Amino acid sequence: MSDTEPQISDNPESSTPLSSTPVPDEAFTRTLNAVTLELSRAFRTPEVQNAIRPMITLILREEIDKFTAPLRKEINDLKYEISSVTLQLNGMLNERCDDLEQYGRRNCIRISGIAETPNEVVENKVIEVIPAITPSDIENSHRVGKPIMGNPKKVIVRLSSYKTKVIIMRGKKVVNSAEDPIYINEDLTRYRAHIFKHIRKSFKSNLINGCWTRDGKIFIRERKPDGTDGSIKRILSIVQIPGYKPTPEELLHFNLSQNIQSEPEATAV
């Protein structure tokens, strides 16, 4: 092994560079600039733009779809969640309002079948129909609605106490069994009256064995396959009516209970 160290030349021209970048000559640069200019001019022509526009549009659309797909899914999920919550809140709010309205009718009864006469005093006719009450038991009474198929308009009576109403409702069967029947019922909200109307149709069709209301709550006596009495069930929504298929409009306007919970059995009266 030689002890002589390599000599480094002081002449820069004799040294070899570690790396070198080729420098384009002037002719190549002019050619490149000319090609760039021609391409720039070509891309400005309508023919080239029309030729490449569909391809570029497709590529951009695919890339945008890839980027926005998760966002669109998240937006749709949020819309569905908001819609579900809104529907549930509206149902709860409407149901609560209906409960309050029904409570305001707690002391009211609705009488059907009282004949109309000119210059009548409705209160006196109510007392004739229900002898158990006196003028002091009646806060207000008047007819409502229109005559239906020749039947007189119904009478709404606001009683002075809930106790008086209970006494009347317990004894209404005596009035209803008269030769010219007069029907006494609780004064229900529009929502509950609509449900009870169709429940009575189910009763007439022998789909249930009984139906009634108590303090604005609607109950039915279910019918077993052999025709005997079944259990007592409270009806909270139009979708619970046996044998009845509600229309989309009814589902929108008369189906306040979005979450129907089971109710304890009640005793028939």
Could you tell me if 177 and 234 lie in one domain?
Answer: no
Last residue of some domain: 125, 152, 187? Answer: 187
**In a domain? residue 10:** no
Each residue's pLDDT tens digit, 209-246? 999 999 999 999 999 999 999 999 999 888 889 988 88
Give the DSSP per-residue string, 15-35.
SPPS--PPPPPHHHHHHHHHH
Tell me how far the alpha carbon of residue 58 is from its chain's centroid.
Answer: 41
179 and 129 in a single domain? The answer is yes
Within a domain: 151: yes
Give 223's strand partners.
229
d(CA 223, CA 232): 10
CATH number of the domain within which 164 lies: 3.30.70.1820
**Does residue 36 lie in a domain region?**
no
Q: What is the pLDDT of residues 248-261, one digit of tens each?
A: 877 766 655 444 44
Output phi, psi for 228, to 5 deg.
-80, 170
Residue where the block lists tokens 């006596």: 221
Q: Which pTM was predicted? A: 0.62
**Last residue within a domain, chosen from 104, 123, 146:** 104
Tokens representing 98?
């209906």
pLDDT tens track, the chain, 269 positions: 445 554 545 554 554 555 555 566 788 888 888 888 887 887 788 887 788 888 888 888 888 888 889 999 999 999 999 988 887 787 788 888 999 999 999 999 999 989 899 999 999 999 998 888 999 999 999 999 887 777 899 999 999 999 999 999 888 765 655 567 888 999 999 989 999 999 999 999 999 999 999 999 999 999 999 999 999 999 988 888 998 888 887 776 665 544 444 443 443 43
250 belongs to a structural domain = yes
Last residue of a domain, one of 187, 222, 243: 187
**φ, ψ for residue 230 (rounded to 5)?**
-100, -155
Domain count, the chain: 3
Note whether residue 9 is domain-resident: no
| Domain residue limits at 205 | 189-269
